[in-house]
Amino acid sequence: MNFCSHCGHTVRLAIPQGDDRPRFLCDECETIHYQNPRIVAGTLTVSGTRVLLCRRAISPRKGYWTLPAGFMENGETTAEAAARETREEACAETRLHGLYTLINLPHINQVFMIFRADLEGSFAPGPESLEVGLFEEHEIPWEELAFPTIERTLWHFYADRKQGEFPLHMSDIVPDRERQSGAG
């Protein structure tokens, strides 16, 4: 950030009075520009015993396989964001169940949230996908998954499916540490 988005003046990075961390400040109009983490929402959509995966047509990780997911937009709920991303990337309608994984990624200022869902009807690649398919467990391209969040979510799913219960899994992924956060 170089300029104030409100008045166009240059900004500087400094700790505001009463605060404890640096923010971009505008000395002209006195706006404090806060920056906050973003939510990435998506689905683990199943049809029978198979899981819906999309092969990415865009960077980052173009050509690798992912669960349909993307940045939550203003004006929607987390569940609406997850369903919309599945519609956009896989042209698929879904019936959503509960929140299944919540993974904090503090080094990139993201919170990743995946809902379990049932596929309703057909699917096809959206503009951000090269192809979309349904995979049995032994068909999952583990070495070609796009992100650690996807691998972890699928790993939980196949472990939980043996028990027939799918509780929320909360955890963190950071480059130099890996922690379970306070959640059952």
What do you get for the CA distance between the two ends of the chain, in Å? 39
Nearer to a second copy among residue 115 and residue 147 (C-beta): 115
By the rule CB under 8 A, 158 interacts with a second copy: no
By the rule CB under 8 A, 87 interacts with a second copy: no
Nearer to a second copy among residue 7 and residue 159 (C-beta): 7
> What is the rounded CA–CA span in Å between residue 55 and residue 131?
5
By the rule CB under 8 A, 67 interacts with a second copy: no
User: Helices in the chain by DSSP H: which ranges?
Assistant: 78-90, 148-163
Nearer to a second copy among residue 118 and residue 151 (C-beta): 118
Nearer to a second copy among residue 10 and residue 49 (C-beta): 10
Cβ-Cβ contacts under 8 Å for 47 (sequence gap 6 or more): 118, 119, 134
| Region near a second copy per CB under 8 A, out of 60-68, 139-147, 152-160, 166-174 | 166-174
By the rule CB under 8 A, 170 interacts with a second copy: yes
By the rule CB under 8 A, 134 interacts with a second copy: no
By the rule CB under 8 A, 31 interacts with a second copy: no
Provide the pairing of β-strand 23-26 with 11-14: antiparallel
What's the burial of 97, exposed, middle or buried (CB within 10 Å: 0-12/13-18/19+)?
middle
